[in-house]
Amino acid sequence: MGTVTFVAESDDALNLVPAPVDRDVFSEDQVLVEAVERHEGKAHLARLRDLGRLAGAPRSLGWADAVDRSPPTLRTHDPFGRRVDEVEYHPAWHRLLQSGVRAGLTAAAWDSAAPLAAHTGRAAAMIVWSQVESGHLSALSTSYAAIPSLRADPELDAIWRPRLAARSYDSALRAPSEKLGSLAGLAVTERQGGSDLRAGTTVASPEPSGGPVEGSHIYRLTGQKWFVSSPMSDVFLVLATADGGLTAFVVPRVLADGGRNTWRLLRLKNAVGTRSNLPAEVELDGTWAARLGEEGKGLRTLTGMLTATRLDAVLRSAGQMRQAVARAVHHCRHRETFGSALAEKPLMQNVLADLALESEAATVLAMRLAAAVDAGETELLRAAVPVAKFWVCKRATGVVAEALECLGGNGYVEEHGLARVFRDSLVGPLWEGPGNISALDVLRAMAMQPRSMEVLLAEIDRGRGSDPRLDRAMDEVAGFLMAASREARRDPAAVEAGARWMVERLGVVLQASLLVRSAPEPVASTFLTTRVAGSGGTLYGTLPVGRKATRMIVERSLPG
């Protein structure tokens, strides 16, 4: 019998798309590079390029795949029956956290010695690193966000800020003073309360004689926390009810003497996404804590932390959009169909351009808010962050879903990675309050801090004169806000019912104003045509513009 020879076919012959690895995720993102430079962050460019190369390296993508396939496990007791309450993670989890800590994604930006535009640089790094894996970002985010709240107590701030700002990752559970660096978590939500934090039942009892925790005002806490996203953090900001009302506390996992604080992990919740970091239910039973701020001022004390975590949710969603768009464009450029690259087909090019447009608008808005942190624009942040949180986080899921479809059946397969990004994108709208909470937060700003809305409208108005469509939209939004302010005194229910429309429109017009000031004319004009003036369809891929514009937008999103 003759010998049968099998000839291996090349990738080109099989029409296979090369793996999107060994990329510089930062440098290839022209929109993000421009934003860093525009907001005085040039000192961070070299470090961001290093992080961009790490984010695009095969080993980082391998870490992400490993932690998604191997969720954490709960170990309540050791083999001899002692209670340990530990969550065990895949080794790749620690590699991801180590890289994020080294990149300064925890509290390094709050350090007094941080370079110019430190928060801008960190925000860009968050967008870059979020394109690797989303679950581990929660511990980095809350560690960053803890600082604005810790400022309520100079003593606690002096103790914890250096630990949270350190660029060394130390996963061991031991006395905080003996660690190279620390991570912070947040524990506020309770089963019976949900978003209504005042309905919580965790109680705080003062210990006048003190206890084994750092701080001047020591308490014992008893109750349950329903969602704790990073249960192995070194310290937590916790809400509990003291004699004076709802109060914030600092709760360490390990006490100053090296003993374990009471932190009973009841179970890990199986979630739709972020499988690498399943949230925990935690029981407190005489748990040692140091009071943060005054009794009864807990929500006010945590306002800065909640604002910072919500901004990080916007950054994370912007990163997910960017990742999805880059994957879709990469695939379509390398996939041949009916005689040419899929990216050159007019209909697919329209889809890619529409997705890139949404991604650019999200990035520009997220980076403007990060620059506002650097500039101390607290009034702008008070109104603009909940607007951005509502709009950008909700848009992310739709963008990722459409990008996944660009890969066809391959996108639906878990090993291609976009399915994980889609699952993970669902957490953004829920993070620190779902959409209705963000919309109501904007209404509260309008009623209680009208100056913040004036500052937001002034920021939007900086784009006036660039395009008549934007000018009309600005007048429409300003008029609606004035009418809503008057109506709120007569019929607050009617104003609340329209809050989501109002916040959506604010988000779109704010993005449009930023784009006319920063983006090329085809990008800004197409955004105005479709998002502001309402031309085109409701689904992605319905841009009513010519191929010259769509080709330019796609090329800008990922230079070929």
- Report pLDDT digits (tens) over 406-430: 999 999 999 889 999 999 999 998 8
- 494 versus 139: the higher-pLDDT residue is 139
Question: Would you say residue 348 lies in a domain?
Answer: yes
Same domain, residue pair 307 and 275: no
246 and 283 in a single domain? The answer is yes
Q: Is the pLDDT of residue 372 over 90?
A: yes
pLDDT tens-place string over residues 462-475: 999 999 999 999 99
Comparing C-alpha atoms, which of 331, 323, 335 is closest to residue 64?
323
Supply the CATH number for residue 368's domain. Answer: 1.20.140.10
Q: Which structural domain range is residue 447 located in?
A: 301-557
- Would you state the pLDDT for residue 500? 92
What is the pLDDT, as a whole number, of residue 9?
A: 58
**pLDDT reported for residue 496:** 87
Instruction: Say if residue 400 is in the same domain as residue 444.
Output: yes
Q: Measured between alpha carbons, how far is 367 from 369 in angstroms, rounded to an integer?
A: 5
Tell me the three-class secondary structure of 323-371, residue by residue: HHHHHHHHHHHHCEECCEEHHHCHHHHHHHHHHHHHHHHHHHHHHHHHH
186 plus 74 within the same structural domain: no
What pLDDT score does 71 carry?
96
**Number of C-beta neighbours around residue 264 at 10 A:** 15
Mean pLDDT along residues 9-15: 64
Strand pairing report for 235-242 and 245-252: antiparallel
Query: Does residue 77 share a domain with residue 63?
Result: yes
Q: Would you state the pLDDT for residue 492?
A: 83
Is 281 domain-assigned?
yes
> Based on the domain organization, do 288 and 317 belong to the same domain?
no
Say if residue 145 is in the same domain as residue 254. Answer: no
362: pLDDT strictly greater than 80:
yes
> How many of the other CB atoms lie within 10 Å of CB of 341?
15
**pLDDT class for 391, splitting at 50, 70, 90?**
very high
pLDDT-derived band of residue 548, with 50, 70 and 90 as boundaries? very high
Residue 484, pLDDT score: 83
Q: Using alpha carbons, list the distances in angstroms from residue 239 to 203, 293, 301, 423.
A: 9, 11, 10, 29
Point out which residues pair with 224 in neighbouring strands. 283
pLDDT of res. 143? 98
* Burial (0-12, 13-18, 19+ Cβ within 10 Å), 57: middle
**Among residues of the chain, what percentage have pLDDT more than 90?**
81
pLDDT at 258 over 70: yes
Domain limit, last residue, from 242, 271, 298:
298
Residue 22 covered by a domain:
no
Report yes or no on 170 lying in a domain.
Answer: no
The percentage of the chain sitting over the pLDDT mark of 70, rounded to a whole number, equals 97
Q: How confident is the model at residue 86 (pLDDT cuts 50, 70, 90)?
A: very high
Are residues 292 and 306 located together in one domain of the fold? Answer: no
pLDDT of res. 220: 98
pLDDT tens digits, 68-82: 999 999 999 999 999
Distance from chain centroid for Cα 99: 17
Residue 524: pLDDT over 70:
yes
* 300 token code pair: 């006010």
Question: If DSSP codes are grouped into helix, strand and coil, which group holds residue 201?
Answer: coil
b/e 3-24 (16+ beta carbons within 10 angstroms → b):
eeeeeeeeeeeeeebeebeebb
Is the confidence at residue 348, as pLDDT, over 80?
A: yes
- pLDDT band at 193, cuts 50/70/90? low
Strand pairing category for 184-187 and 235-242: parallel
Between CA 89 and CA 72 the distance in angstroms is 5
Q: How far apart are CA 115 and CA 59, in angstroms?
A: 30
Q: Is residue 511 part of a domain?
A: yes
Q: Within the chain, what is the greatest distance between any pair of CA atoms?
A: 94
pLDDT at 238: 97
Q: Is the pLDDT of residue 489 over 90?
A: no
Identify the pLDDT of residue 463: 96
User: Is the pTM here over 0.85, yes or no?
Assistant: yes
Let me know if residue 77 belongs to a domain.
Answer: yes
Instruction: Say if residue 291 is in the same domain as residue 341.
Output: no
Quick one: pLDDT at residue 321? 98
Q: Of 298, 317, 345, which residue constitutes the final position of a domain?
A: 298
List phi, psi (to 5°) of 104.
80, 25
Asked if 93 and 214 sit in the same domain, the reply is no
pLDDT at 83: 93
**For residue 68, what are the CA distances in angstroms to 114, 138, 219?**
34, 15, 38
Query: Has residue 437 been placed in a domain?
Result: yes
| Whether pLDDT at 12 is above 70 | no
Strands 184-187 and 218-228: unpaired
**Residue 485 pLDDT:** 79
Give the number of other CB atoms < 10 A from CB of residue 91: 10
What pLDDT, on a 0 to 100 scale, did the predictor assign at position 13?
59
Residue whose C-alpha is closest to residue 278's, from 419, 95, 430, 68: 68
The domain boundary residue, chosen from 298, 329, 355: 298
The predicted structure's pLDDT at residue 11 = 62
171, part of any domain: no
**Average pLDDT, rounded, for the chain:** 93
* CATH code (residue 232): 2.40.110.20
Question: Do 161 and 50 fall into the same domain?
Answer: yes
Q: Which single residue is written with the structure tokens 């099998």?
A: 6
Q: pLDDT category, 434, cuts 50, 70, 90?
A: confident
Q: Helical H runs in 340-491?
A: 346-375, 378-406, 409-412, 418-425, 427-430, 435-448, 450-461, 468-490
Band of pLDDT at residue 197, cut at 50, 70 and 90: confident
**Given this model, what pLDDT does residue 200 score?**
80
pLDDT at 394: 96
pLDDT of residue 5: 56
Q: Are residues 468 and 322 in the same domain?
A: yes
Please tell me the total count of domains within the chain. 3
Name, in order, each residue with C-beta under 8 angstroms of 10's C-beta and a sequence gap of 6 or more: none
Instruction: State yes or no: pLDDT of 8 exceeds 70.
Output: no
**Is residue 195 over pLDDT 80?**
no
